[in-house]
């Protein structure tokens, strides 16, 4: 245990805090998908981690398509044009996966009034199926006879290995906070997450459709009696979760630069943790939970060593829930006051 | 007939909730369904609104078959409901609840909309005072007013009111019933479900008595209020 590593100098403290905020912002964006679906349907979309994972591949494949496979180190400015295309691709890919999930894994069960537990099992099944399908993409390509054309995308024999983005984005120092260098990449990640959060929050609070979402979350039968099309509301909720996961996937690839078919699992669990920690069903809670989780695990890693990062994260979850069982902000999406 | 219900049967699993129910509501009138707890009154209303699946029978609204339409399409046609147990959105303000009532309307920014809002505030001045308050923090009576006001904001041709007097103080019950007459006088057709049979029969043009899922008597409100068997069973022998 080395508290000096964290608190010894402001430089270290700022560095670990900022690093935590960056990951926390990504957790928060993914957490939105869990929390919104829970708010509307009271079910955990366990497969949301795969929605994110498909987004990360969309980013890497966009770079392979538009740049090629040659390794390169680019500044954020140079990568920006492709990065923006990749962002759109990731948002579309993640949204598509989320919508298919809703249609295939949930809607038939909801229409039959199946217990929530059944939907959870369906979600876990869908999660494994999606993850393994990505790991088997070389086989699919072979069956379709396109494995030669798509060799750069499926990486034969290594479909289950780490898939690296050919372009590494080099962070550049923008300014200094007490000796700690704030980079352009870190700043973009945190700002992008905050902007998306703010936009979504306003959408849910201020728009007619957002009011419809809150109505379904608070009382589905009453919402139907007001003329809200609940099937459409559920669909849009999954769509929004997917779009946010796509943004998270792009930011993640900016920072990490590599992914694999199992990349969604730990991030998904952490994002779910962030959602529960902030108060499941609560949008602002997802943001707070994500940032708190990111910072705490970063501090934990500084004090006890990096291998303790996840232990700290989940012990924190248990401690917070013991004190505040409904999460930091508590109230659900629907019940949040305007 | 604005609403025609023909041979309606609804099941909960294997249990028959309502059986072969047939009645109609003439445009511009107040109709009422009365009966004991569990007679199937609420199920009938929920089925008309589309919240329950029909096993057999038909529902016609303004001559069109709406039996298989999803609830939101029925709202678009002019059918709105104040549900049993009020069903207000607890985390929304009074004003937001009223706006939710008008969810299907496209004229939210117009003077006509403001007029309808003022009309609801005229009927229930209490709601105007509490505009910015969260609905979940209001008393039962206030929530009931909100539920009725919200149903009116859809500008419905037919409003279904499920037990509007439930759990209210006697003075407030009087007030709610005179407001129901007023709503009707302003041109809205009303289908009222009530356990307070005396008040309901007094206001209704037509009335039907439900017993264990079936209609056992029909007539004008006046006829049924004067009927000895009805008096004995539902009116405590004295209106």
Regarding whether B161 and B149 lie in a shared domain, the answer is no
Q: Do A218 and B89 touch (CB under 8 A)?
A: yes
Q: Do B92 and A224 touch (CB under 8 A)?
A: no
How far apart CA B49 and CA B97 sit, in angstroms, is 19
Of A148-152, B12-16, B126-130, which one has max mean pLDDT?
Answer: B126-130
Is residue A337 assigned to a domain?
no
Q: What is the ipTM of this complex?
A: 0.91
Q: What ranges in chain A are assigned the alpha helix state H?
A: 3-7, 10-41, 48-67, 76-101, 107-111, 116-135, 137-143, 151-154, 184-206, 208-218, 220-225, 230-255, 263-278, 283-304, 309-323
Regarding whether B61 and B178 lie in a shared domain, the answer is yes
Q: Do A338 and B154 touch (CB under 8 A)?
A: no
Regarding whether B73 and B102 lie in a shared domain, the answer is no
Q: Do A214 and B89 touch (CB under 8 A)?
A: yes
Is residue B210 assigned to a domain?
yes
In B, which residues are within 8 Å of A331 by CB distance? 91
Regarding whether B28 and B71 lie in a shared domain, the answer is yes
Cβ pairs A/B, distance under 8 A:
82
What is residue B226's predicted lDDT score, i.e. its pLDDT? 86
From B155, B180, B200, the end of a domain falls on: B155
Is residue B84 assigned to a domain?
no
Beta bridge pairs of residue B21: B8
SS3 for A333?
coil
Is residue A334 assigned to a domain?
no
Is residue A332 assigned to a domain?
no
How far apart CA A136 and CA A55 sit, in angstroms, is 17
What is residue A337's predicted lDDT score, i.e. its pLDDT? 40
What is residue A332's predicted lDDT score, i.e. its pLDDT? 52
- For the residues of A208-251, what is the DSSP string, one character each? HHHHHHHHHHH-HHHHHHTT--HHHHHHHHHHHHHHHHHHHHHH
Nearest CA in chain B to A112: B53
Q: Do A212 and B96 touch (CB under 8 A)?
A: no
Distance from CA of B168 to the nearest CA of A (A): 21
Is residue A328 assigned to a domain?
no
pLDDT in tens, A57-73: 999 999 999 998 888 99
From B115, B138, B155, the end of a domain falls on: B155
| Interface mutation vs chain B, best among A222, A231, A279, most B CBs within 10 Å | A222
SS (H, E, C) B120-189: HHHHCHHHHHCCCCEHHHCCHHHHHHHHHHHHHHCCCCEEEEECCCCCCCHHHHHHHHHHHHHHHHCCCE
Is residue A338 assigned to a domain?
no
Regarding whether B39 and B115 lie in a shared domain, the answer is no
In B, which residues are within 8 Å of A225 by CB distance? 49, 51, 71, 75, 80-81, 83, 87, 151
Q: Which residues of A touch B (CB under 8 A)?
A: 208, 211-212, 214-215, 218-219, 221-231, 331, 334-338
From B131, B155, B179, the end of a domain falls on: B155
Number of domains comprising chain B: 2
What is residue A156's predicted lDDT score, i.e. its pLDDT? 66
What is residue A338's predicted lDDT score, i.e. its pLDDT? 34
Number of domains comprising chain A: 1
CA contacts within 13 A on the Cβ side of A104? 13
Is residue A126 assigned to a domain?
yes
Instruction: Please tell me which residue, A337 or B52, carries the higher pLDDT value.
Output: B52
Using CB atoms within 10 A of its CB, is residue B232 exposed (0-12), middle (13-18) or buried (19+)?
A: exposed
Of B91, B96, B104, the CB nearest to A227: B104
A305: left (phi over 0), alpha (psi -120 to 50) or beta: left
Mean pLDDT over B1-20 rounds to 93
Is residue B83 assigned to a domain?
no
Regarding whether B165 and B150 lie in a shared domain, the answer is no
Q: Do A227 and B76 touch (CB under 8 A)?
A: yes
What is residue B61's predicted lDDT score, i.e. its pLDDT? 96
| Interface mutation vs chain B, best among A209, A214, A226, most B CBs within 10 Å | A226
Is residue B85 assigned to a domain?
no
Q: Do B89 and A215 touch (CB under 8 A)?
A: yes
Is residue B131 assigned to a domain?
yes
Of B101, B108, B136, the CB nearest to A226: B101
Domain that holds residue B147: 90-155
What is residue A336's predicted lDDT score, i.e. its pLDDT? 44
Regarding whether B73 and B161 lie in a shared domain, the answer is yes
Regarding whether B20 and B117 lie in a shared domain, the answer is no
Q: Do B83 and A338 touch (CB under 8 A)?
A: no
How far apart CA A215 and CA A231 sit, in angstroms, is 13
Chain CA centroid to CA A221, Å = 31
Regarding whether B123 and B74 lie in a shared domain, the answer is no
- Does B178 touch chain A if contact means CB atoms closer than 8 Å? no
Q: Low-confidence residues of chain A, pLDDT below 50?
A: 333-338
Is residue B172 assigned to a domain?
yes
Mean pLDDT over B156-184 rounds to 90
Domain that holds residue A191: 3-323
Is residue A236 assigned to a domain?
yes
Q: Do B87 and A221 touch (CB under 8 A)?
A: yes
At residue B78's C-alpha, the angle toward residues B75 and B82, to 5°, is 65
How far apart CA A68 and CA A240 sit, in angstroms, is 31
Is residue A329 assigned to a domain?
no
Regarding whether B161 and B239 lie in a shared domain, the answer is yes
- Assign residue A143 the CATH number of its domain: 1.10.3470
């Amino acid at each position: 245990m080395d508290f000096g590593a964290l608190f010894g100098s402001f430089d270290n403290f700022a560095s670990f805090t900022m690093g935590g905020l960056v990951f926390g912002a990504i957790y928060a964006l993914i957490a939105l998908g869990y929390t919104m679906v829970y708010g509307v349907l009271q079910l955990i979309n366990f497969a949301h981690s795969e929605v994110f994972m498909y987004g990360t591949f969309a980013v890497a494949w966009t770079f392979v398509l538009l740049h090629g496979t040659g390794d390169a180190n680019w500044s954020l400015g140079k990568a920006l044009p492709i990065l923006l295309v990749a962002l759109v691709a990731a948002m579309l890919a993640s949204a598509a996966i989320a919508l298919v999930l809703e249609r295939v894994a949930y809607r038939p069960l909801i229409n039959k009034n199946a217990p929530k537990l059944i939907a959870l099992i369906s979600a876990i099944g869908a999660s494994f199926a999606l993850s393994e399908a990505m790991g088997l993409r070389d086989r699919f390509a072979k069956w379709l006879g396109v494995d030669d054309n798509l060799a750069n995308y499926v990486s034969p024999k290594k479909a289950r290995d780490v898939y690296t983005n050919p372009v590494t984005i080099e962070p550049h120092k923008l300014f200094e906070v007490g000796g700690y260098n704030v980079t352009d990449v870190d700043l973009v990640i945190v700002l992008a997450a905050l902007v998306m959060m703010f936009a979504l929050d306003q959408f849910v609070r201020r728009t007619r459709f957002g009011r419809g979402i809150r109505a379904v979350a608070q009382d589905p039968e009453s919402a139907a009696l007001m003329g809200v099309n609940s099937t459409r509301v559920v669909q849009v909720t999954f769509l929004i979760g997917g779009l946010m996961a796509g943004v998270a996937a792009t930011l993640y690839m900016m920072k990490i630069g590599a992914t694999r078919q199992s990349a969604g699992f730990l991030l998904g669990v952490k994002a779910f943790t962030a959602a529960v920690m902030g108060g499941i069903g609560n949008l602002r809670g997802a943001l707070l939970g994500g940032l708190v989780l990111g910072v705490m695990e970063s501090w934990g890693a500084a004090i006890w060593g990096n291998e303790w990062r996840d232990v700290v994260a989940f012990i924190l979850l248990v401690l917070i829930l013991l004190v505040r069982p409904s999460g930091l902000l508590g109230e659900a999406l629907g019940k949040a006051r305007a | 007939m604005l609403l025609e219900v023909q041979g309606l049967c609804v099941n909960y699993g294997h249990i028959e909730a309502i059986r072969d129910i047939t009645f109609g509501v003439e445009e511009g009138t107040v109709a009422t369904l009365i009966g004991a707890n569990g007679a199937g009154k609420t199920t009938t209303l929920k089925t008309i609104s589309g919240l329950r699946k029909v096993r057999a029978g038909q529902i016609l609204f303004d001559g069109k078959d709406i039996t298989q339409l999803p609830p939101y399409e029925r709202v678009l046609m002019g059918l709105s409901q104040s549900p049993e147990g009020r069903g207000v959105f607890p985390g929304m303000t009074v004003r937001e609840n009223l706006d939710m009532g008008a969810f299907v309307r496209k004229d939210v920014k117009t003077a006509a909309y403001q007029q309808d809002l003022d009309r609801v505030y005229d009927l229930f001045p209490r709601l105007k005072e509490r505009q910015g308050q969260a609905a979940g923090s209001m008393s039962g009576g206030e929530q009931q007013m909100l539920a009725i006001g919200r149903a009116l904001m859809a500008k419905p041709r037919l409003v279904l009111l499920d037990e509007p007097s439930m759990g209210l103080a006697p003075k407030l019950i009087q007030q709610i019933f005179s407001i129901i007459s007023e709503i009707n006088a302003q041109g809205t057709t009303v289908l009222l479900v009530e356990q307070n049979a005396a008040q309901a029969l007094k206001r209704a043009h037509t009335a039907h008595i439900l017993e264990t899922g079936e209609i056992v008597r029909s007539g004008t409100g006046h006829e049924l209020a004067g009927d000895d068997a009805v008096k004995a069973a539902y009116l405590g022998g004295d209106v």
